[in-house]
Amino acid sequence: MNISQRAQNIQESPIRKLTAIANAAKKRGTTVYHLNIGQPDIHTPEVFYQKIYDYEEKVLSYGPSDGLEALKVAMVNYFAFFEIILEPKNIVIATGGSEAISFAFNAVGDPGDEVIVSEPFYTNYSGYASQCGLKIVPVTAKAENGFHLPAISEFEQKLSPRTRAVLLCSPNNPTGTVYTPDELRAIGDFARKHDLFLIADEVYKEFTYDGKVHFSVLQLSGLEDRVIVVDSISKRYSACGARIGAVISRNESVMKGITKFAQARLCPPTLEQVGAIGAYELPHDYFKEVMAEYQKRRDILYSILTSRQEIILQKPEGAFYIMAKLPIADGEIFARWLLNEFSDNNETVMIAPGEGFYKTPGRGKDEVRLAYVIETPKLERAARLLLLALDQFKG
């Protein structure tokens, strides 16, 4: 019996597909430093767990499909800090930003419709798109340009009668680029001119460095009907396992459609929503220390990598990733070799091959994505292992 084309063709996550060989290396007793995945080691705020311990209901029942009202109110208050005025009805709580992206894709297009995305992009967009039959149409952002958005004329070249939306991510995974208000205004005008939705993945909104400030598409005026924001607590509160995200939009039809998708999967996890309420109630100061820690990590990784001229990279402005061009032909072969063959003092490093972050065939083969989510002594060791490995790699 055959499985569906969709199940056959969906791409394996480049972030996770080497996990089996990493586990084999660990079984052999090798320490593996994970630079492949955006799993921070920052502790989840204590108040998240406390709220769950204090939960007194005798039955862990289904909650509302669109999420607990108290969590939505906590989010409304949180966004008000950034002068983004929302109402609870503008929010549907999702099972992670991942489900929020699926909801947004399903709301804007039917199978065969197209979404224009600036590449390199968060690789799982491809997975969500193939699940709902949407086609991702890439425009390529260039490292020389700090991976900022390509010219609007390049987006225009990608338009077709099936184009339904533009999707962007700022601060960006995998490049760390933070788009400027002018860039976002220009892309907003493009969406308006061509009657498209503008989906913005802002799950890293708090993580910007060197005094840069994140500008949200929710702050663009005149686009209220087109904008759909993907949000999540995974990185914000280092709560990846909670699986709590949200879709935010002021477009009532979009929210009505998404609420029906949400009903079909009943509800997001109740206890983790309760924990999330506690996290959202933290004073905003909470982020100061976290941001300073990530900036320190970025600086360490950046300075070690830039000690080699043959490594080409941009200093990330936000999020916690670096996309680096290495003197190798194939990032996946290198990543496998690191886990299967290389070790120094019984330690090695795991990286995400760059190709999976591109849609255009052949692009990103000599690139890798590195996540600076581990504490500084480990990060420094991991970066130095990478340099040592490059000296030894003959691929």
Ligand X SMILES: Cc1ncc(COP(=O)(O)O)c(C=O)c1O
**Residues found near ligand X in the complex (CB under 6 A):** 38, 96-98, 122, 169, 173, 201, 203, 232, 234, 240, 245
Closer CB to ligand X, 33 or 122, in the complex: 122
Compute the least distance from the CB of residue 393 to ligand X, in Å: 27
Q: Which is nearer to ligand X, 119 or 342 (by Cβ)?
A: 119
Residue nearest to ligand X (CB): 96
Measured from the CB atom, the residue of 128 and 190 that comes closer to ligand X is 128
Nearer to ligand X, 97 or 354 (CB): 97
Supply the angle between the helices 331-340 and 19-27 in degrees, to the nearest 10. Answer: 20
Cβ at position 247, least distance to ligand X in Å: 11
How far apart are CB 96 and ligand X at their closest, in Å?
Answer: 3
Report in angstroms how near the CB of residue 59 gets to ligand X at its nearest: 27
Please, which residue, 226 or 369, has the CB nearer to ligand X? 369
The CB density around residue 174, as the number of other CB atoms within 10 Å, is: 31
DSSP letter assigned to residue 18: T
Q: How far is the CB of 39 from ligand X (least distance, A)?
A: 9
Q: Least distance from C-beta 319 to ligand X, angstroms?
A: 8
Q: Which of 278, 276, 285 is nearest to 234 (CA)?
A: 276
Q: Which is nearer to ligand X, 45 or 96 (CB)?
A: 96
Structure tokens given for 79: 């966004």
Which two three-digit tokens encode residue 165?
A: 């939306």
If you write DSSP's letter for every residue of 100-143 in order, what string do you get?
A: HHHHHHHHH--TT-EEEEEES--THHHHHHHHHT-EEEEEE--G
The rounded distance, in Å, linking the Cα atoms of 349 and 332 is: 13
Question: How many whole angstroms separate alpha carbon 290 and alpha carbon 236?
Answer: 9
